[in-house]
Amino acid sequence: MKKPRGLALRGKTPRSPSKRGPIRSDPRSPLKRGPTRSDPRYPSKRGPTTSGRSPGGDRETPEIRNLLLEAAFRCAVRFGWARTRMADVAARAGVSRQTLYRHFQTKEGLASVLALREQDAFLDELREAFRSQETIAEAVEAAVSMGLKRAESHPLLRQMFEDPDSGVLPYVTTRALPLMKRGRALTAELIVELDPTIDPGTVELLADVLTREIFSHTLTPSEPIGVVAERLGRLAALVLRERPLLSEGARSKRPPRDPSRRRRAAL
């Protein structure tokens, strides 16, 4: 019998076709395939776990998010934010870098959320100081005094003065707009709480001035805190004592005056 070409030199014969044949579809067959990925019975590797941990073995949010923020804060205080690496934060938190990047894709994003967290604590104390007083002047003086003292003792802000290369400065200057907006909104809210009759335009103006002054004196503390707080309190009292009439929009909503009232007042 003639041997196939290519095998004659080595003395080999072609292999016989497989006797196993195709996989049978008999449900009793041991060769039956399991469920496919499109089958609802397919076990998902990304599904929730009963142990309260993520697929990588880490704790789920929001606990892990708070843990990462606290770790970022500790690393920034120790190394300076500019020298803090994402790997340092993950190691400090005791999680994988994959978990860290799942919550914060960039270091800048982590820094922004950390700054908002620190401001939340600051605003809570400012709210308490403001509400503890009865007049606008006293409330502004107490809140400004508390705010400047808090800023002076904050580890990251203190580090900003001790180490200009720490990387904190941009978040209270060129990138401080979100912080200023939140501070201005809270200040306006507290002023309206104390005196709802104040013109909205005056409230917005005073809140903007007070917020900017706190930021300015935090960055360039040229005078004692008590002096700055007392001056801003007097400024608030002066602005509100001589506040302008309602704006055109608010004035148009007021009911028309009764002419007889003016005649009775003259009598």
Buried b (16+ CB within 10 A) or exposed e, 183-219: bbebbbebbeebeeebbebbbeebbebbbebbbebbe
Contact 147, 203 (CB under 8 A): no
pLDDT of the residue at 17:
53
- Partners of 53 in the beta sheet? 59
pLDDT of the residue at 249:
45
CATH hierarchy code of domain 115-244 = 1.10.357
User: What percent of the chain has pLDDT above 90?
Assistant: 44
Query: pLDDT category, 11, cuts 50, 70, 90?
Result: low
Query: Which residue type does 53 have?
Result: R
What fold is seen in the domain 63-105?
Arc Repressor Mutant, subunit A (1.10.10)
Cα–Cα distance between 87 and 91 in angstroms, integer? 6
Burial class (CB in 10 A: 0-12, 13-18, 19+), 155: middle
Phi, psi of 59, rounded to the nearest 5 degrees: -65, 150
What are the distances in angstroms from CA 112 to CA 50, 64, 69, 141? Answer: 32, 17, 11, 29
In 21-179, DSSP assigns E strands to: none
Does 99 or 258 have the greater pLDDT score? Answer: 99
What tokens does 113 get? 């959320």
Does 200 or 244 have the greater pLDDT score? Answer: 200
Query: pLDDT category, 140, cuts 50, 70, 90?
Result: very high
Secondary element (H or E) of residue 58: none
Cα–Cα distance between 63 and 144 in angstroms, integer? 33
Cα–Cα distance between 215 and 134 in angstroms, integer? 25
Report the pLDDT averaged over residues 88-117: 93
Residue 147 predicted with pLDDT over 80: yes
Answering whether pTM is above 0.75, one says no
Cα–Cα distance between 214 and 212 in angstroms, integer? 5
Query: pLDDT category, 210, cuts 50, 70, 90?
Result: very high
> Of 49-58, 106-115, 201-210, where does mean pLDDT reach its minimum?
49-58
Q: Where are the chain's structural domains?
A: 63-105, 115-244
Report the pLDDT averaged over residues 68-74: 95
Tell me the per-residue pLDDT of 224-263, one tens digit each, with 9 for 90 and over. Answer: 999 999 999 999 998 887 544 334 444 444 445 455 544 4
Dihedral angle computed from the Cα positions of residues 79, 84, 90 and 91, in that order, rounded to the nearest 10 degrees: -40
pLDDT of the residue at 58:
47
Cα–Cα distance between 170 and 22 in angstroms, integer? 68
- Partners of 59 in the beta sheet? 53
What tokens does 71 get? 């770790």
Tell me the per-residue pLDDT of 14-65, one tens digit each, with 9 for 90 and over. Answer: 555 555 555 455 555 444 444 444 444 444 444 433 334 444 444 557 789 9
Report the pLDDT averaged over residues 201-230: 91
Mean of pLDDT over the chain: 77
Cβ-proximal residues to 203 (8 Å cutoff; 6+ apart), any chain: 188, 191, 192
Report the pLDDT averaged over residues 195-210: 91
pLDDT of the residue at 19:
53
Nearest to 107 by CA among 63, 171, 155, 156: 171
Tell me the per-residue pLDDT of 153-186, one tens digit each, with 9 for 90 and over. Answer: 999 888 888 887 888 888 888 888 889 999 999 9
Phi, psi of 53, rounded to the nearest 5 degrees: -125, 155
pLDDT of the residue at 231:
94
pLDDT of the residue at 164:
78
